């Protein structure tokens, strides 16, 4: 009976070890357990012009077409996904401060919220 249990455990290990090795190799190859989405290019930090009142961003300075406010230059993680240029940043809803990483607002101390904005007027935008 003990021999049967040992054989059963050895057989289970033979099945588990190759699977774990394959997962480890995939993680080393991609740098993460989940493969990156094929249509998403690597994000780069760029200056975009965002409206402090609306969820609008443009590749060029100017006025917001929705509310007429002056667009503010902000640093954002910009990437292309599905033919659209997207900007990701963290913004304080109370005082319009922005950050590239999740943080508390340096001005008022409130938590910043993540914003994903389509950048208009860029090569891929409208």
Instruction: Please state the domain extents for the chain.
Output: 1-35, 44-120
Give the pLDDT score at 81: 80
* Half-sphere exposure at residue 65, Cβ-oriented, CA atoms within 13 angstroms: 7
Give the pLDDT score at 36: 40
Give CA–CA dist 114/119, Å, rounded.
15
Give the pLDDT score at 37: 41
Give the pLDDT score at 32: 45
Kindly list the averaged pLDDT for each block of 10 residues, start to end, along the chain of length 126. 59 52 50 43 84 88 93 91 88 85 90 90 51
- Is this prediction's pTM over 0.75? no
């Amino acid at each position: 009976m003990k021999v049967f249990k040992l054989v059963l455990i050895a057989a289970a290990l033979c099945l588990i070890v190759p699977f774990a090795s394959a997962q480890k190799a995939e993680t080393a190859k991609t740098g993460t357990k989940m493969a990156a989405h094929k249509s998403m290019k690597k994000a780069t930090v760029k200056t975009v012009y965002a409206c402090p009142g609306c969820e609008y961003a443009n590749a060029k300075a100017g006025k917001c077409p929705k509310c007429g406010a002056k667009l503010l230059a902000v640093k954002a993680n910009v990437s292309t996904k599905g033919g659209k240029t997207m900007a990701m940043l963290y913004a304080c809803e109370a005082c319009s401060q922005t950050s590239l990483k999740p943080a508390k607002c340096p001005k008022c101390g409130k938590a910043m919220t993540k914003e994903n904005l389509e950048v208009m007027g860029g090569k891929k935008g409208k």
